[in-house]
Amino acid sequence: MRVAAEPTPRSSTSTNLLQAAGLRVTPQRRLVIEVLAQAADRHLTAEDVWTAVRDRYDGFNRSTVYRVLEQLADAHVVTMHRLGGSVAQFELAGVAPHHHLVCVRCRRVAELLDADLSVLRRRVLARERFVVGGVSVTIEGVCDRCQGRG
Ligand SMILES: [Zn+2]
Ligand SMILES: [Zn+2]
């Protein structure tokens, strides 16, 4: 028997995230969540989000983007990171636990897997008998793109 595929409601994820956080579902909030979900490297500044949404929705201005990001951060739908620079970076909350590698030249952010810290956890436990719990690590360095440039 063939079952016709249910058309997936567009942006159901953003709607679910907002509802789960107890926030009213608005087109602006949904769009910001979608932009963050679609971002290839997942870490965007408010300015990046603004650039991505301004052509897609008329009722948006820059301050709306900032306000929406703030509301979503307050509700823990997005996480705001200050990764050594003056500019905050945003990503969707609830992604796999990870840490951040920040390029000191271009401020590009890459992810450091939590598993990469397993050696640290083991050694700290062995030496200090300290069980490492919540860790937030930001490592600064030079990204692959910037290494090529003098
Ligand atoms: Zn991240
Ligand atoms: Zn770089």
Report the alpha-carbon distance of residue 6 to residue 9 in Å, rounded. Answer: 9
Does pLDDT of 61 surpass 60? Answer: yes
Mind listing the pLDDT tens digit for each residue in 21-55?
999 999 999 999 999 998 867 789 999 999 999 88
Mean pLDDT, the chain, integer: 85
In terms of average pLDDT, the best of 36-40, 112-116, 123-127 is 123-127
What pLDDT does 69 receive? 96
**CA 70 – ligand 1 centroid, Å:** 17
Which positions ≥6 away from 68 have C-beta within 8 Å? Answer: 28, 29, 32
Q: How far is CA 114 from CA 45, 99, 133, in A?
A: 23, 7, 12
Neighbours of 78 (CB within 10 A): 24
Report the alpha-carbon distance of residue 95 to residue 89 in Å, rounded. Answer: 15
**CA 98 – ligand 1 centroid, Å:** 6
* Closest ligand by atom to 106 CA: 2
**CA 43 – ligand 1 centroid, Å:** 6
